[in-house]
Structure 1
Amino acid sequence: MSLADKIFIDMCNDILENGTSTEGEKVRPKWEDGSPAYTIKKFGVVNRYDLSKEFPALTLRRLAFKSCIDELLWIWQKKSNNINELNSHIWDSWADEEGSIGKAYGYQMQVKHKYKEGEMDQVDRVIYDLKNNPYSRRIITNLYVHQDLHEMNLYPCAYSMTFNVTKEKDSEQLVLNAILNQRSNDILAANNWNVCQYAVLVHMLAQVCGYKVGELVHVIADAHIYDRHIPIIQELIKRPIYEAPEFYINPEIKDFYQFKVEDFELRNYKYGPKVEIPVAI
């Protein structure tokens, strides 16, 4: 069975059984009809995925893999904050008339910063350090820039990546690991989406730097299930589980900026029926 499914099921059961409710409290999100979107939440959820063993796509329901990759490239490769450069509509509710989401996500990735080695943006700094100083404990990205929050149409949810290189036991082969820090995570709509996006990112960076993939650790400050998602989650976690799919990344790509959506595939991917998910805004 897929380990990602087991982690997801255990997490959902823990939130439903041991979480706390925000019902009746002051909350920001609203449903389409204007009513408050309450949640059951758990603080400080930590999940570990060994990317060397399997790709963490859920089999309980289908992951929209191509759209997931497209958004990842939009932020990390195109470094864009305009939805007109994105092929899905997931950001439409937060975009202005020109398509901008403000100084959020991709905008922060393209800002150049001064370092001793010269000016670089955050993505190029990560690649530089992984190639030139792999044992650094400072390979970190951060999208939660306080001075720009007032110009972001949505504060970043997945806001920080910390990369850490280890060595394979009894080998000189270097292994790339990462921690994804998330302040808030909608478990039904976004949890597996985020996990798979950043799993792909680890694969991309490992390939262009000549490393193997190791662990992705997902740290969630506020892991929540929305009130209208509870019956959907309850049905979902009772479904059959299948074997994890095989992840394919085009081995010819050695430049981070040359990857395209078509360079990634999930092969032998078996999954359960689609679920309709109301989204709180």
Structure 2
Amino acid sequence: MGRGEKAYLDLCNHILTNGTKRDDRTDTGTYSVFGHQMRFNLEDGFPLLTTKRVPFRLVASELLWFIKGDTNIRYLLENNNNIWNEWAFKNWIESDEYKGPNMDDFGNRIQVDPEFNKIYEEQMEIFKKNILEDDVFAEKYGDLGSVYGKQWRAWKTSQNEVIDQLKEVIDSIRHNPNSRRHIVSAWNPEDIPTMALPPCHTLFQFYVADGKLSCQLYQRSADVFLGVPFNIASYALLTHLIAHETGLKVGEFVHTMGDAHIYSNHIEQVKTQMERDIRQLPQLLLNENKRSIFDFELTDFELKGYDPHPTIKAPIAV
């Protein structure tokens, strides 16, 4: 029990002990190592961390957003998912149409200035309301550009054709399981300038053996405290869904990282988490009446036996 979660906690300890202190794009600062791999046996249980609560509903709704090929945060907000808000909000406050209070460097200012944090939250609520209620505003400021969903479902070629990578990889797994080309890439160099955030989880590959489906993710940039627990659960869920559709059992999720880092303002939270004991992993149940991953909705997932330690809050670096 907990071998995968122990590997995660070992990574946290490795970074705190051996990581290099580095500046970063967000001006927050990180402790970082380069090149790390963790393995999760999905037959042991669903790898949702137990040393802190990870909100499965947010993981699942974000994954469904990717699967739908959507790039606008309206769907996420409709499902009470706020994890991409800051990047879309940044587009609005940097536009000529924004007339509100100065929001420069809001990601860092909200951590040290309670009064500014109140103003920020007011502006964020205005922004979210506009996304949900104003179609024109949502189209202009809710869209994050050619991020994950676009690349997974509608990769545009130089011949102006469109490739549905996700659909093709499912067909490949079903009809040519021994192929070494079960790959989906989110890293499209031509589209990087149009993305709110270039993809951190850049490429994933599937592998079929002994009637089991395994998945390996390469993640160029890994926010170990906030992002990685989501990434583990998201790709584990994706593996379950595709195994379900193709009539396979689940095998392993292999998580390979480039720059694995802990932000300098997450250190105490990480230490708190490392002091906690690992608990029994939950079990994932899928709606057996749904076969195609493109038909699944949030109500088609059930997580049984999830009894984690409490949530540990930390600021997100934008």
1:150 aligns with 2:193: yes
Shift of 1:159: 1.3
SS in 2 for 1:103: coil
Shift of 1:110: 2.5
- Inter-CA distance 133–119: structure 2 relative to 1 (3 Å threshold): farther
Structure of larger gyration radius: 2
What residue is the counterpart of 1:63 in the other structure? 54
2-structure distance, mates of 1:242, 1:177: 24
2-structure distance, mates of 1:47, 1:63: 18
1:190-246 Cα shifts (integer Å, max 9, x gaps)? 111100000000000001000010011000101100001001101111012211112
SS in 2 for 1:52: helix
Shift of 1:108: 1.3
1:239 aligns with 2:236: no
1:43 aligns with 2:80: no
Moved over 3 A (4+): none
Contact 1:113 1:121 in 2 (8 A): no
SS in 2 for 1:98: helix
State the TM-score, normalized to the length of structure 1.
0.89
Shift of 1:112: 5.4
Which one-letter code corresponds to 2:25 in the other structure? R
1-structure distance, mates of 2:214, 2:263: 31
One of 153, 162, 179 as aligned partner of 2:205: 162
Shift of 1:251: 2.1
2-structure distance, mates of 1:92, 1:113: 26
What residue is the counterpart of 1:277 in the other structure? 314
1:83 aligns with 2:83: no
Which one-letter code corresponds to 1:94 in the other structure? W
What residue is the counterpart of 1:54 in the other structure? 45
One of 213, 226, 245 as aligned partner of 1:176: 213
1:98-137 equivalent positions in 2, closer than 5 A? 98-111=141-154, 120-137=163-180
Unaligned segments of structure 2, at least 5 residues:
92-139
Say what the alpha-carbon RMSD is for the aligned residues: 1.6
Percent identical among aligned pairs is 37
1-structure distance, mates of 2:171, 2:265: 44
Shift of 1:2: 2.3
Which one-letter code corresponds to 1:3 in the other structure? R
What residue is the counterpart of 2:266 in the other structure? 229
Unaligned segments of structure 1, at least 5 residues:
30-35, 168-173
1:147-189 Cα shifts (integer Å, max 9, x gaps)? 111111110001111011112xxxxxx2111111100111110
Aligned residue pairs, count: 262
